[in-house]
Amino acid sequence: MNSGNIRWRILSLLFLATVINFVDRQTLSVVAPVLRDEFKFSNQQYGMIVAFFQLGMMLGEFPMGMLMDRWGARRGFSFAIIWWSIASAMHGLANSVTQFSLLRFWLGTGECGNFSGSTKVVAEWFPPKERALAVGIFNGGTMVGSIIAPPLVVWLVHLYGWRVAFVVPSLMGFVWVLFWLKTYRPNTEGFGPAMRPPTNRELLGLRQTWACILARTLAGPVMHLYVYWLPEYLYRQRGFSLKEIGLFAWVPFLFADIGSIGGGWFSGFLIGRGYPLHDARKISIILSTILTAASVGVAIVQSIPLAFILICTAMFGFMWMSATVFAIFSDLFPDNAVGRVTGLTGVGNGASSMILNFATGMVVDRFSYVPVFAMAGLLPAMGMATLFLLAGRIERVKIKTSDASS
């Protein structure tokens, strides 16, 4: 098997899966102004609907990670995308806060498999020098999906109504599975010596595992804030119409996409210039985290163009940071544990995202967006400091021999 060719074909499918994931995920946020006007949802009720998605993500992360490690990415990924595509399409039948909340929960239990599966596949098919770039490319699909979603969904809403806007994007998932089953095969060569799969107990006994969990718990919710609340913020606070959201809301996600791919390339570039893996990842994290702090000023500045520049800067930095962090997971852990570790980090991310999204609705109803965007600027720095202080040097963990079962 020519791994040099097939790995890039596989990566292109991971990218497309992530695009579909975020089109399905962001459809709700794009149609939120229409739904809120039709069903009279408050900010707090909308925040609760979004929080149920995060609850589903949180509870589904580790089972999906185990599924990827035990079934393999071929079957595991196919199951995940079919599961969430059905849930996404079912949104077109919802008529209440309860129904939307339950469907968001279902969607979350499937969509979390995208990242545990993709990170596992990257660890399996790409050498350390290329992993951050590979992660940046598939992770960049989140932003491409977010770029596509506003104009696509607004167009569908205007032509066919908001219910069809949920159904049409979901069909892409079923088509993707056909290509995945035809293309993907496990990499039998791998990188480095083969290791026995560490048990769940062994993983949870490593400080590096907890460093990754805490890092994503603190930093992860920030992107969910932009994905779910940016259209609402532009509509309610900056006076954008639904048409203007369709025309302009994709711009920050374009910058985020550039940050994901460019940031993923950057640490690989440093490694190619002779920097040790740890130093390359650390420099990349520091620079990207500085940029995320631009979020602090978003709700404070009066100028709409300046607010947009700050949003673009913060999202560029966040996705640069995100690509590097997912690469660090595969740097630290063996291929047969990456799915579970990514799932564990997703549990923390899901819990904090659920709390943040629910709290955002309450804070906006009672105060303003200022505290929300301020926290979005500070949380990534806290998360990355925790990662490096607790994990120590970025290198493959040494798992002690144990007969314990998971």
* Alpha-carbon gap, residue 370 to 307, rounded angstroms: 12
Position 53 scores a pLDDT of: 87
What is the reported pLDDT for 285? 96
φ, ψ of residue 384 in degrees (nearest 5): -70, -35
Dump the DSSP string for 8-41.
Answer: HHHHHHHHHHHHHHHHHHHHHHHHHHHHHHHH--
> Which DSSP letter does residue 68 get?
H
The pLDDT value given to residue 191: 62
C-alpha span between 100 and 92 (Å, rounded) = 9
Burial of 189 (0-12, 13-18, 19+ CB in 10 A): exposed
Cα 252–108–243 angle (5° rounding)? 35
Residue 401: its pLDDT value, please?
Answer: 52
Proportion of the chain in helix, strand, coil states, percent, rounded to 5? 85, 0, 15
Distance between CA atoms of residues 83 and 80, nearest Å: 5
d(CA 331, CA 131): 8
CATH code of the domain made up of 3-183+201-391: 1.20.1250.20
Domain boundaries, the chain: 3-183+201-391
- Give the integer Cα–Cα distance in Å for 333 and 235: 43
The half-sphere exposure of 120 on its side-chain side, counting CA atoms within 13 A, is 27
Q: Residue count of the chain, please give it.
A: 406
Picking from 13, 19, 45, the residue whose alpha carbon sits closest to that of residue 32 is 45
* Cβ neighbours for 87, distance < 8 A, ≥ 6 positions apart: 103, 106, 107, 109, 110
Q: How many Å is the Cα radius of gyration of the chain?
A: 20
Question: Whose CA is closest to 351, among 231, 220, 249?
Answer: 220
Return the structure tokens found at 146: 């977010």
Coil, strand or helix at 139: helix
Give the C-alpha separation, 230 to 149, whole Å.
13
- The answer to whether 387 touches 222, Cβ cutoff 8 Å, is no
Residue from 118, 134, 13, 75 nearest 339 by CA: 118
Check if the beta carbon of residue 271 is closer than 8 Å to that of residue 277.
yes
pLDDT of residue 88: 95
Q: Residue 390 in contact with residue 382, Cβ under 8 Å? A: no
Whole-number pLDDT of residue 406: 40
Q: Which residue has the tokens 């990188």?
A: 191
Q: How many helices (H) and strands (E) does the chain have?
A: 16, 0
CB atoms within 10 A of CB 355: 13
- Per-position pLDDT tens, the chain of length 406: 456 688 999 999 999 999 999 899 889 988 988 998 899 888 788 878 888 887 898 899 889 988 888 898 899 999 999 999 999 999 999 999 999 999 999 999 999 899 889 988 998 898 888 888 998 899 888 878 877 888 888 899 989 999 999 998 899 999 999 999 999 988 877 665 566 778 889 999 999 999 999 999 999 888 878 877 887 788 888 888 877 877 787 788 889 889 988 988 998 899 989 999 999 999 999 999 999 999 999 888 888 889 889 999 999 999 999 989 988 998 999 888 888 898 899 888 878 887 887 788 788 888 888 888 999 999 999 999 999 999 999 998 887 654 444 4
Amino acid at 404: A
d(CA 174, CA 179): 9
Residue 159 token pair: 């032509």
**Cα–Cα distance between 78 and 76 in angstroms, integer?**
5
Contacts of 5 (CB under 8 A, 6+ apart): none
Structure token digits, residue 155: 């167009």
DSSP state at residue 404: -
Q: Is the pTM of this model over 0.85?
A: no
Structure tokens given for 24: 């399905």
Q: How far apart, in Å, are the Cα atoms of 116 and each of 15, 35, 127?
A: 14, 31, 18
